[in-house]
């Protein structure tokens, strides 16, 4: 008996879909092992993974707050009603620091607002779709104050606390701080609802207000609510 499965391909201009109704046999190797594709790699192939960053090539972003404040994320992805995201990677590379480094990654089930933030344009992580498929979410960086509304029902997904002034470390490497739940750095989450805005919040700071600088890059997969929940 030959068994067939259905091909899932890239999403459409409405950021939805993918199933093709085309049935085909699954592939095996010459040694007859069944080939299994990684789901996140497939999301990239489908054009679902987007990227945004904070700090420009040689000009780092300035981290305004001196301590963690729920309404002052350094970077934020706001999921519109009807959109669901799964954050995949946040990478935080500090340049100039002044004291204690703190990083916090969290999500909330309301709209924190966008005051004191600068909108950035997400780019598709599959270059075939870069500039063609736009993100259905809005991303923001360069926080300079409260966003307007306190996040509610917050879940903290990752946290770091470093006593050392990072840029004073000269006798050891200072690798980037990484949230990547697929490799154990943090808890994976699902963000989004069918009728309201939810958000992904990334906080990174280093001690003294306005005196720390650095770069952060962020990736997430996005789905329509209907795609995700059927």
The answer to whether 31 contacts other proteins (rule: CB under 8 A) is no
Task: Return phi, psi of residue 166, to 5°.
Answer: -65, -40
Rule CB under 8 A: say whether 226 interacts with other proteins.
no
Considering the rule CB under 8 A, would residue 34 count as an interface residue with other proteins? Answer: yes
Distance CA 79, CA 138 (A): 7
- Three-state DSSP at 89 gives strand
Of 53-61, 66-74, 116-124, 137-145, the segment contacting other proteins by CB under 8 A is 66-74
* 30 versus 230: smaller Cβ distance to other proteins: 230
Selected range binding other proteins among 112-120, 121-129, 165-173, 209-217, rule: CB under 8 A: 165-173
Which residue, 31, 30, 29, 11, is CA-closest to 20? 11
Stretch that binds other proteins, among 55-63, 117-125, 139-147, 187-195 (CB under 8 A): 187-195
HEC letters along 63-88: ECCCCCCCCCCCEEEEECCCEEEEEE
> Which residues within the stretch 73-102 sit at the binding site for other proteins (CB under 8 A)?
84, 86
Measured CA to CA, the distance from residue 16 to residue 222 in angstroms comes to 9
Q: Which of 42, 116, 146, 149 binds other proteins (CB under 8 A)?
A: 42
């Amino acid at each position: 008996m030959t068994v067939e499965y259905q091909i899932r391909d890239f999403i459409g201009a409405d950021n939805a879909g993918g199933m093709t109704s085309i049935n085909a046999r699954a592939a095996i190797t010459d040694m007859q092992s069944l080939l299994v594709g990684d789901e996140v790699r497939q999301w990239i192939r489908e054009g679902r993974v987007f990227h945004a960053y904070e700090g420009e090539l040689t000009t780092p972003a300035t981290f305004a707050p001196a301590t963690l404040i729920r309404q002052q994320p350094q970077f934020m992805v706001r999921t519109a009603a009807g959109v669901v995201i799964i954050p995949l990677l946040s990478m935080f590379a500090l340049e100039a620091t002044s004291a204690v480094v703190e990083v916090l990654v969290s999500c909330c089930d309301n709209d924190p607002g966008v005051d004191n933030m600068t909108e950035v344009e997400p780019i598709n992580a599959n270059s075939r779709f870069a500039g063609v498929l736009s993100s259905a979410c809005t991303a923001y960086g360069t926080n300079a104050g409260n966003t307007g509304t306190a996040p509610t029902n917050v879940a903290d997904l990752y946290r770091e606390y470093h006593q050392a002034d990072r840029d004073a470390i000269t006798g050891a490497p200072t690798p980037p701080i990484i949230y990547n739940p697929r490799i154990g750095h943090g808890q994976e989450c699902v963000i989004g609802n069918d009728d309201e805005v939810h958000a992904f919040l990334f906080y990174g700071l280093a001690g003294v207000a306005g005196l720390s600088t650095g770069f952060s890059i962020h990736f997430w997969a996005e789905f329509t609510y209907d795609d995700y929940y059927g």
